[in-house]
Structure 1
Amino acid sequence: MVSVTIDRLSVRLGHRAVVQDVSATLSPGSLIGIIGPNGAGKSTLVRALLGLIPAQGGSVLLDGQPIADIARRIIARTLAYLPQGQTLHWPLSVERLVALGRLPHLGPMSHMSADDMALVLHALDRADVGHLRDRIATELSGGERARAMLARALAVGAPGLIADEPLAALDPGHQLDVMDLLVREARAGGLVITVLHDLTMAGRYCDRLLLMEGGRLVADGAPDAVLTPDRLAAVYGISARIDLTGPSPVIVPLERTAPRRTD
């Protein structure tokens, strides 16, 4: 079990305030989605709570300890991270790529044990890339590569998982598979946080949504409390057909209600 506490967090990139005064307590057991338009600060928030970029103000606590005081190896063992849009440069097999997820658990000169290898094989199967284990990762399609990178994150075996846009490049079937997997991880007691652009997936699968705009957290709660017509108009500049009452919630953008931003 692991939890993250964000207290009045602010982050600047260059001269621009990208995250501003965000506070939230992220606890295990439910799927937490971070949503918002392009440039809202979602990925920067994720990177800051992982300690990958420094805070300009406020704090991030991992199980009550400041993230800046925790060794990178410990963070990597605790919070597995799937960044968005990773480019692969080395011609590794898919199996070797996924095995990199075990590095936080290995010493400088140590080798993977049978238990490590079992976790790698399990991660390959969970991400539906077991049949690709001998393929060269740089030769995969975009969707296959995305699933291989997810498998690498799963192979860490961490109590927390943070996935930034895990549905990008995936076909509809694999999008459903990944969301089902994230829900299972959360229901098993993991801390699972995902950045999403698909509002239907967010409304259907997430237990809690954090809606960001302009670097600020403008709503935090259950999907039916966050995904309202007024909020979608104010934050995204759209009207939408919203049906969150049935077993398969649907949010369909209809038209813009505000001019497209050009800045």
Structure 2
Amino acid sequence: MVSLATKSLVVRRAGVDVVEQVSFSADGGALIGIVGPNGAGKSTLVQALLGLVASTGDILLDGQPLGRRSRAQIARTIAYLPQGQSLHWPLSVDRLVALGRLPHLAPLSRITTEDRAAVDRAMATADVRALATRTATELSGGERARVLLARALAVEAPALIVDEPLASLDPAHQMRVMEILRDQATRGVLVVAVLHDLSLAARYCDRLMMIDRGRLVADGTPDAVLTPERLRETYGIRAWFGSAANVPLIVPIARATSRHD
């Protein structure tokens, strides 16, 4: 199984550390949620894990420095779904999902039967087969989100990083996406997901990493990370904690007048 680790990872932008001294390690077979307030550095952190932004410190993929891997090797090992991705070309949905197989193709080569099977599996998993012949730029926001998830799944990489994969989705599809990510982890994939819904994070994730002002302020099981004190200190909110049908629920009820109230 794949492994991913950082040691003293720092990302600076405009002279400011937006990711500051983050160290962690993770192995395949886990669904890890990255949570934290807006602007905390979550997206920058996952971009650094993929080598998409300049950073200092160590990033190790399967025990080797990420910088020693080619972009194609990284793309075959870690599938990535960025947040808020725009579509500019009027491709059909099946052709868009097929782009997920590009890391496996040699230059100027054609998609193979094996590639086509991977695309079909991804579309079935993301429940977008019915959209196969639709033009991707004409889809609703929720449909587009599911199609882009299918493209990432089509890579069939041992690691999957998804940034806010629940945006634009209705509650049923939010749960479906979390079930997909949970299933991928069960199959041995290392799944890292940037999430804002704390109840879904608590329900589906094995582990949560909480980022605040670029720092990793908590790392552990959901019940250890999502405490009333930490939500107050990190998000500036008071929340209700409970459960229904053995499902954990975390409901923000008010903004705290300060992070220390």
Asked whether the two chains share a fold, i.e. TM above 0.5, the reply is yes
1:70-92, Cα deviation, whole Å (9 max, x unpaired): 10000000000000000000000
- Counterpart CA distance in 2 for 1:72 and 1:126 is 26
The answer for the alignment partner of 2:18 in structure 1 is 18
Higher alpha-carbon deviation: 197-206 or 8-17: 8-17
The answer for the alignment partner of 2:67 in structure 1 is 68
Question: Could you tell me which amino acid in structure 2 is paired with residue 20 of structure 1?
Answer: E
1:128-153, Cα deviation, whole Å (9 max, x unpaired): 11000000000000000000000000
- Counterpart CA distance in 2 for 1:244 and 1:11 is 38
C-alpha displacement at 1:245, in angstroms? 9.0
C-alpha displacement at 1:68, in angstroms? 1.3
Q: Determine if the alignment matches structure 1 residue 90 to structure 2 residue 124.
A: no
Corresponding residue SS for 1:241: strand
Gaps of at least 5 residues in structure 2 are none
Corresponding residue SS for 1:251: strand
What RMSD over aligned residues (CA atoms) do the two structures have, in Å?
1.2
1:165-202, Cα deviation, whole Å (9 max, x unpaired): 00000011100100000000001111000000000011
1:118-137, Cα deviation, whole Å (9 max, x unpaired): 11011111101100000000
C-alpha displacement at 1:246, in angstroms? 6.2
The 5 A counterparts of 1:77-116 are 77-116=76-115
- Counterpart CA distance in 2 for 1:77 and 1:167 is 24
- Counterpart CA distance in 1 for 2:106 and 2:83 is 28
- Counterpart CA distance in 1 for 2:67 and 2:244 is 42
- Counterpart CA distance in 2 for 1:239 and 1:34 is 20
1:66-115, Cα deviation, whole Å (9 max, x unpaired): 11111000000000000000000000000000000000000111101111
C-alpha displacement at 1:243, in angstroms? 2.3
- Counterpart CA distance in 1 for 2:30 and 2:159 is 11
The answer for the alignment partner of 2:41 in structure 1 is 41
Higher alpha-carbon deviation: 250-259 or 205-214: 250-259
Question: Could you tell me which amino acid in structure 2 is paired with residue 7 of structure 1?
Answer: K
The answer for the alignment partner of 2:238 in structure 1 is 239
Contact between 1:146 and 1:169, CA under 8 Å: does it hold in 2?
yes
Gaps of at least 5 residues in structure 1 are none
Contact between 1:224 and 1:244, CA under 8 Å: does it hold in 2?
no
- Counterpart CA distance in 1 for 2:193 and 2:49 is 13
Give the alignment's TM-score, normalised by structure 2. Answer: 0.97
Corresponding residue SS for 2:29: coil
Question: Could you tell me which amino acid in structure 2 is paired with residue 165 of structure 1?
Answer: E
Question: Could you tell me which amino acid in structure 2 is paired with residue 127 of structure 1?
Answer: A
Give the alignment's TM-score, normalised by structure 1. Answer: 0.96
1:4-30, Cα deviation, whole Å (9 max, x unpaired): 011010001222210000000011112
- Counterpart CA distance in 1 for 2:58 and 2:168 is 33
Runs of 4+ with >6 A deviation: none
Q: What is the aligned residue count?
A: 259
Change (3 A) 1:244 1:215: farther
The answer for the alignment partner of 1:225 in structure 2 is 224
- Counterpart CA distance in 1 for 2:185 and 2:202 is 16
The answer for the alignment partner of 2:3 in structure 1 is 3
The answer for the alignment partner of 1:210 in structure 2 is 209
The alignment-based identity, stated in percent, is 60
The answer for the alignment partner of 2:248 in structure 1 is 249
C-alpha displacement at 1:259, in angstroms? 5.3
- Counterpart CA distance in 2 for 1:249 and 1:241 is 11
Corresponding residue SS for 2:247: coil
Higher alpha-carbon deviation: 217-226 or 235-244: 235-244
